[in-house]
Amino acid sequence: MSIKATPTAGATLLTPTDHTLVMIDFQSQMAFATHSIDAVSLRNNAALVAQAGAGFGVSTILTTVAEKSFSGPMFDEITAAFPGQKMLDRTSMNTWEDAAVIERVNQIGKPRIVLAGLWTSVCIVGPALSALDQGFEVYVIADACGDVSAEAHERAMQRMVQAGARPMTSLQYLLELQRDWARGDTYELTTGIAKKVGGAYGIGINYAKSMFGAHEG
């Protein structure tokens, strides 16, 4: 039986309108004990995800744990991308067990959940496994998560993948939302984010535009 290819996107690729982005516990107290990724990279990747989500109009939930009494505020890099958005503060380590968060998930009503936050083995594993159990598709932005050790992060990622979660990276998330350089309405948004927080890729964009006037489209 022959297979015929068509110029269409795969069904598991994300679009800006098919998922809810949940950014969890990017807070000082959690970051102090994070050792699987350095703080600069973590903040940079979190900023990339937040700016991508905000720029593409992705339905986004920002949630903290014990913000006032213990863990501190969410990273400025994230809150700056969503000015005025209400923070959902919890007592539960598992975001999926918080009634206010779940009420918001149901209000948004998207079948896919994209997770990023601290720590991978607790605050990401909890909602990932819980959402999968309830029939949601779950994606985890691995380099926008961190844990107390590389071992803890890796075992948590493996556990989620074995349960059916799909791992990805922060830059992959941005570029998957864009996906076609002919989409001119978001071209400057995407390359602008990449230039600011896209690491070496962003440096390359700056170089190509400055030296050759290059344009991906």
Q: How far apart are CA 216 and CA 174, in angstroms?
A: 15
User: At residue 49, does pLDDT exceed 70?
Assistant: yes
Q: How far apart are CA 178 and CA 55, in angstroms?
A: 11
Q: How many residues does the chain have?
A: 217
Q: What is the pLDDT of residue 199?
A: 87
Q: What is the mean pLDDT of residues 29-50?
A: 96
State phi, psi for 149 to the nearest 5 degrees.
-155, 160
Q: How far apart are CA 21 and CA 58, in angstroms?
A: 7
Q: Look up tokens 């890729």; give the residue.
A: 201
pLDDT digits (tens, 9 = 90+) for 134-189: 999 999 999 999 999 999 999 999 999 999 999 999 999 999 999 999 999 999 99
Under DSSP, the state recorded for 87 is P
Quote the pTM value: 0.94
Contact 16/177 with Cβ under 8 angstroms? yes
Q: What is the pLDDT of residue 183?
A: 94
Contact 98/4 with Cβ under 8 angstroms? no
